[in-house]
């Protein structure tokens, strides 16, 4: 399924109508198959044959299961895999991609094949000692597509992704400075820094640069860098080993682990009693490592999963605590400063005591304020000096620069007045120690509230990460599969092919499939599906979901970072890293924002100072406690501290964070700000047919027999032939044939001798001494079989009803016609109607799309290539995705209106625009509080997205579907 703008879709509509005319005039199976080499009719066949149908009707033989790569490689073969990229032309939909993928994977020595239908590419990882590039191209061509090798081969280790937590950023200027510094490092291909999540994602070549050098580059920019993960961590485990006494102990453990099959690398950190192991998850796992370690030296050592370092939540809590402590200490010092300057002076007796002169004109109150303000300025406010220095050192300016300049101006002018008072017998001046102290305190208060609010924006990820249970019940089986015993283990110790017991009310610990038991599983926390899903033998289950009423035995297939839950978390995290195009506006503004504010603040001070010096305004405008210079200085400081680049920087990423998190909880995975922004502009939806508008599960809808034969006997022979094919149409026939058996679980069929797949036509075999042919008209005519008029009419009737007609002959006589259809999803008509009401046009054909959507039941490559994934495979989630995109982007617009409007209105007011007429001015400490409030407002405005509810009409639609089912 794809989304596009109306302009890009109109031309495709005409092609769609032409294709429909070709279908009417020529038929699907006759002319379309004869002209198979024609690209247009190739695409026609793909669209009209339900997108999942093969390019010919011939069933393919069922091959015995083949390992993804030769077993010898598991046993230690030194052959290295290679990764190569092909250009594949002629693909039009996910079914084409699946055909190419299957054709490649049938070859020996193929480790992985990923086909990207959107970019017409296929990426293949293979073992050159078993297969070469020419054979891969030949397999793609045999599948009916054109393939060419893209020149450069891709090195497996040429690209690595490193995720780093960055602390100390305040605005987009910080982000730009870090990205620029990283991109200047040799070997860095891409660097993305997210202000809202305080993380950086770096794509780099590990041959040219190490992740430690990347951390140094970030720290050189003046920020704290903490490694979260590298691409090497995918199949890597860290263990803590107790009982180690000598280096020889470490050596024995290392040697024992290296002899274990599947272990790739072993690294030791004796200082931390830590051992790190990279391994092949298909072969071994952490439980095996612990067993090996504890068997060394007759069990002298004890091993366990290494205690996790501080995660996202704990680090966020630590940051909150730091701001809280800083705020608390600043208040302890600031409150007395505030009282001595603005409250005590009005209290008889107390005010006189603080006005007592110590040296010349220097008073007790000024000394107290100086002493208390100094630690606020240089100890508590040290972070602003450090941030300013690091920013200016790299040629940029951020919010720290504005705060440092504003507070320094107030503080050092106050120091000047104190020194003048101490050395003069007639100097009368006013200090501004309360200005600098209150300004720093209110900024810290704002940052404290901001980190509290920002922590809530990432609550969706935290919620997802907490879904995985801490423990699991492992079943110990004998060689015959009989349960010997069971034990509780840490869920991080689960390995592939483990059999786990899940009792009612417990969480499923990892991805796998049911090997015993029946139950209902609540998958709403992963897919957003509110109704419990029935599970029985062979059904897949997802880690983190909740078993409801029956006991299940689960065989683990994907564990750790390979699980669906981990992939969803990574996808949402990556989505929050990717910047929306609209954020470029904030990035451009931030480059000039702070310098312009400094220039405007200086101009404000200078204008008011000159106006006062030359008496351009009445002296009555000047407050009794200050002179014209001090009034001008306060205006300048207010302008400097009221400007807020933070609000601009947070406007987009906070909304994207909340929007993608809410989408994940609704079963809609949005891969970044680009997709989120583009989706809100969509005015045309282009649907694939099979599996999207239809169920994607072909079923037999009618059977017409032309000879005297029992229906059960007819299907026994047809199924005996078709059971050798893996094609959906063949599976539909076999499943239908089971209905005529008393034992529907019986999987055995009569032997089909001399089985032959006839390319482009169908299959041929001998069953019970009868020659059986199943296929299209061409197959029958080529075999010299006459097609009766009644059969012709039945084929035409099936094609007129958008059904696939298949002919069956026995002993050279057409015996019957089978009609197969892919049922329309119950929600399809209503979804199309709702989209129309949203001014979104719907058509059915494959085009190049602005935003790609894939349903969760689709192929892995479709999900990988798509910008938005609909986890529940529900068609109505298309509406949710577009509606959420529109709501999120509306929120982003409001954020920008607030952030820009705040600065456009606030800066002139701080500069004294209302002072001549209303005598209204903003003291610097109030301006600082307003600056902090602007950032908090933007974050809170984004947080309102957490209250998002999908359109109410979809609830009505869901009720209708229940009735249909």
151 C-beta neighbours (distance < 10 Å), count: 6
| DSSP 3-state of 330 | helix
22-25 contact pairs (CB < 8 A, 24+): 23/48, 23/799
DSSP codes, 575-605? HHHSPPTTHHHHHHHHHHHHHHHHHHHHHHH
Distance of CA 675 to CAs 173, 205, 210, 679, 688, Å?
25, 27, 31, 6, 19
Q: At 841, list the tokens.
A: 């046009």
Contact 580, 656 (CB under 8 A): yes
Q: Please say if 688 is a catalytic residue.
A: yes
Q: What is the DSSP string of 725-775?
A: --SHHHHHHHHHHHTTSSSTT-------EEEEEETTTEEEEEETTEEEEEE
**Selection from 39, 40, 63, 43 nearest residue 53 by Cα:** 43
Sign for the CA dihedral angle at 675, 679, 684, 688 comes to positive
How many C-beta neighbours within 10 Å does residue 889 have? 23
Contacts with 23 (C-beta within 8 Å, 6 or more apart), sequence order:
32, 44, 48, 799
Cα–Cα distance, 276 to 828 (Å, whole number): 51
String of DSSP letters for 677-693: HHHTT--EEE--IIIII
What does the alpha-carbon distance between residue 360 and residue 428 come to, in Å, rounded to a whole number? 11
Beta-bridge mates of residue 758: 762
Instruction: Indicate the SS3 state at residue 522.
Output: strand
In three-state form (DSSP H/G/I as H, E/B as E, the rest C), the secondary structure along 364-408 is HHHHHHHHHHHHHHHHHCHHHHHHHHHHHHCCCCCHHHHHHHHHH
Residue 829: which residues within 8 A CB-CB, separation 6 or more? none
> Dihedral of CA 150/153/154/158: which sign?
negative
Q: How far apart are CA 260 and CA 252, in angstroms?
A: 13
**Among the listed residues 267, 532, 222, 549, the one whose alpha carbon sits nearest the alpha carbon of residue 384:** 222
Who contacts 867 (Cβ-Cβ below 8 Å, separation ≥6)? 670, 671, 672, 674, 675, 678, 679, 851, 852, 853
> Does an H or E element contain 126, and which?
strand 121-126
Tally the C-alpha atoms within 13 A of residue 152's C-alpha that lie toward its C-beta. 4
CB atoms within 10 A of CB 691: 25
Beta bridge partner(s), residue 490: 471
Residue 186 CB-density burial (10 A; 0-12 exposed, 13-18 middle, 19+ buried) = exposed
230 beta partners? 162
**Euclidean distance between CA atoms 324 and 311, whole angstroms:** 20
* Structure token digits, residue 50: 């339900």
Q: Which two tokens stand for residue 521?
A: 């599983």
Q: Which of 288, 688, 822, 850 is catalytic?
A: 688
Distance CA 102, CA 95 (A): 10
Are 205 and 156 contacting, i.e. CB atoms less than 8 angstroms apart? no
CA torsion, points 317, 318, 319, 325, in degrees to nearest 10? 110
Catalytic (active-site) positions = 688
């Amino acid at each position: 399924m794809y989304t596009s703008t109306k302009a890009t879709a109109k031309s495709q509509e005409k092609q769609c109508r032409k294709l429909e005319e070709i279908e009417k005039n020529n038929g699907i199976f006759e002319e379309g198959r004869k002209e198979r080499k024609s690209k247009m009719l190739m695409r026609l066949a793909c669209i009209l044959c339900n997108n999942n149908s093969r390019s010919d009707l011939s069933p393919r033989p069922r091959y015995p299961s083949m390992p993804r790569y030769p077993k010898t490689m598991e046993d230690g073969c030194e052959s290295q895999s290679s990764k190569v990229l092909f250009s594949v032309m002629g693909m039009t939909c996910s079914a084409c991609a699946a055909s190419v993928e299957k054709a490649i994977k049938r070859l020996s020595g193929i480790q992985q094949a990923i086909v990207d239908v959107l970019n017409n590419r296929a990426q293949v990882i293979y073992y050159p000692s078993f297969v070469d590039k020419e054979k891969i191209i030949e397999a793609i061509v045999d599948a009916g597509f054109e393939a060419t090798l893209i020149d450069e081969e891709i090195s497996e280790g040429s690209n690595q992704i490193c995720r780093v937590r960055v602390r100390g950023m305040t605005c987009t200027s910080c982000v730009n400075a870090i990205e620029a510094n990283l991109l200047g490092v040799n070997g860095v291909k891409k660097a993305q820094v997210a202000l809202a999540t305080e993380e950086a994602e770096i794509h780099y070549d590990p041959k040219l640069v190490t992740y430690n050098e990347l951390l140094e580059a970030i720290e050189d920019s003046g920020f704290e860098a903490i490694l979260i993960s590298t691409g090497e961590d995918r199949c890597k485990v860290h263990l803590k080993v107790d009982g180690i006494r000598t280096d020889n102990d470490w050596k024995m453990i290392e040697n024992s682990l290296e002899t274990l099959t599947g272990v790739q690398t072993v690294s030791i950190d004796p200082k931390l009693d830590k051992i790190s192991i990279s391994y092949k998850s298909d072969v071994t796992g952490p439980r095996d490592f612990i067993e090996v370690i504890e068997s060394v030296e007759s069990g002298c050592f004890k091993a366990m999963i290494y205690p996790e370092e501080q995660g996202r939540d704990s680090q966020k809590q630590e940051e909150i605590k730091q701001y809280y402590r800083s705020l608390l200490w600043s208040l302890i010092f600031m409150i007395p400063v505030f009282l001595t300057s603005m409250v005590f002076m009005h209290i008889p007796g107390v005010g006189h005591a603080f006005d007592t002169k110590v040296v010349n004109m220097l008073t007790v109150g000024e000394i107290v304020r100086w002493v208390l303000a100094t630690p606020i300025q240089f100890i508590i406010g040290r972070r602003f000096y450090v941030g300013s220095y690091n920013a200016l050192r790299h040629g940029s300016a951020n919010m720290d620069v504005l705060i440092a300049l504003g507070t320094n101006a107030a503080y050092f002018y106050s120091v000047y007045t104190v020194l003048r008072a101490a050395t003069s017998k007639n100097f009368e001046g006013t200090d501004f120690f309360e200005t600098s102290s209150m300004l720093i305190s209110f900024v810290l208060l704002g940052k404290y509230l901001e980190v509290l609010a920002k922590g809530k924006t990432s609550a969706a990820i935290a919620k997802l990460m907490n879904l995985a249970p801490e423990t699991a019940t492992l079943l110990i089986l004998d060689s015959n599969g009989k349960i010997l015993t069971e034990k509780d283990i840490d869920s991080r110790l689960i390995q592939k092919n483990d059999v786990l017991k899940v009792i009612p009310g417990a969480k499923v610990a990892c991805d796998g499939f049911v090997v015993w038991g029946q139950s209902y599983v609540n998958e709403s926390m992963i897919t957003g599906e509110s109704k419990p899903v029935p599970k029985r033998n062979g059904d897949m289950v997802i880690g983190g979901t909740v078993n409801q009423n029956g006991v299940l035995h689960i065989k683990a297939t994907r564990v750790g970072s390979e699980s669906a839950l981990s992939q969803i978390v990574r996808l949402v995290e990556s989505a929050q890293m990717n910047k929306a195009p609209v954020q470029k506006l904030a990035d451009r503004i931030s480059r000039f924002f702070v310098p312009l504010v400094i220039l405007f603040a200086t101009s404000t001070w200078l204008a008011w100072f000159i106006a006062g010096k030359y008496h351009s305004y009445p002296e009555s405008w000047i407050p009794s406690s200050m002179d014209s210079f001090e009034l001008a200085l306060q205006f300048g400081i207010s302008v400097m501290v009221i400007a807020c680049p933070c609000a601009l920087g947070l406007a987009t990423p906070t909304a994207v964070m909340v929007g993608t998190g809410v989408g994940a909880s609704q079963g809609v995975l949005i891969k970044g700000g680009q997709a989120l922004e583009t989706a809100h502009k969509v005015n045309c939806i282009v649907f694939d047919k099979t599996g999207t508008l239809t169920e994607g599960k072909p079923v037999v809808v009618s059977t017409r027999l032309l000879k005297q034969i029992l229906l059960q006997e007819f299907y026994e022979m047809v199924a005996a032939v078709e059971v050798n094919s893996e094609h959906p149409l063949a599976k539909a026939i076999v499943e239908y044939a089971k209905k005529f058996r008393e034992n529907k679980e019986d999987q055995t069929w009569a032997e089909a001798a001399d089985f032959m797949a006839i390319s482009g036509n169908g299959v041929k075999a001998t069953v019970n001494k009868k020659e059986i042919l199943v296929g299209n008209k061409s197959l029958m005519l080529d075999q010299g079989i006459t097609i009766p008029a009644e059969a012709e009419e039945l084929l035409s009737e099936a094609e007129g009803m958008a059904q696939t007609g298949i002919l069956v002959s026995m002993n050279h006589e057409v015996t019957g016609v089978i009609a197969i259809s892919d049922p329309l999803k119950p929600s399809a008509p209503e979804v199309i109607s709702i989209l129309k009401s949203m001014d979104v046009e719907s058509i059915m054909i494959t085009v190049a799309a602005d935003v790609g959507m894939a349903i969760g039941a689709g192929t892995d490559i479709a999900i990988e290539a798509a910008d938005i994934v609909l986890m529940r495979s529900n068609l109505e989630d298309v509406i949710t995705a577009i509606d959420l995109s529109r709501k999120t982007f509306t929120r982003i617009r409001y954020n920008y209106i607030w952030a820009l409007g705040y600065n456009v209105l606030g800066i002139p007011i701080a500069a004294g625009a209302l002072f001549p007429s209303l005598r209204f001015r903003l003291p610097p400490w109030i301006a600082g509080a307003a600056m902090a409030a602007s950032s908090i407002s933007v974050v809170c405005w984004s947080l309102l997205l957490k209250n998002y509810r999908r359109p109410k009409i979809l609830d009505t639609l869901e009720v209708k579907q229940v009735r249909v089912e």
